[in-house]
Amino acid sequence: MQITEVLNFIKGNNLAVVSTVNYSGKPQSAVVEFGELDDFTIIIDTLKTSRKYSNLTTNKQVSIVIGWDNDVTVQIDAIAKELSGDELNSAKAAYFAKNERAKKWENMPDIAYFAFKPYWLRYSDVGHKPWLIEEFSF
């Protein structure tokens, strides 16, 4: 398994489960649309009124799962960063390239964008015999 194959798998998916932790340590998960950069950074948008936003502003640790069809998933552990300025503009380009319909809420006053920079990734194909499981660190 080459790391480029993992990136291609991520690019072929539109939804992910993002898990965050609230101020008291309770985990919370949400299904989100996402975009990605070639360095495996995941880009999402969220409302500032969401649990996810509150969690990400108090605890930058995030876990992401992409895929599930055909017994293949990618798990990512990452550090979250709220985006602004030039960094936000380039991330939005990648996000909207994959999620064009999300442009309609781009200018909402309470929309925020986050980048999830991975430090660990696991590709799992449990439909493969034997199972194919590869881990990568960044």
Which CATH number fits the domain that encloses residue 71?
A: 2.30.110.10
Q: By residue range, what is the domain housing residue 72?
A: 3-137
Give this prediction's pTM: 0.95
Residue range 65-87: mean pLDDT, rounded = 96
Q: CA-CA-CA-CA torsion for 19, 20, 21, 22, nearest 10 degrees?
A: -120
Q: What pLDDT does 8 receive?
A: 97
Residue range 101-126: mean pLDDT, rounded = 95
Q: Return all residues near 36 (Cβ < 8 A) that are at least 6 apart.
A: 7, 10, 11, 42, 43, 94, 98
Residue range 119-131: mean pLDDT, rounded = 96
Residue range 102-115: mean pLDDT, rounded = 94
Instruction: Indicate the number of domains in the chain.
Output: 1
Residue range 42-64: mean pLDDT, rounded = 97
User: Could you give the CA distance from residue 20 to residue 13 in angstroms, rounded to a whole number?
Assistant: 21
In this prediction, residue 1 has a pLDDT band, given cuts at 50, 70 and 90, of confident
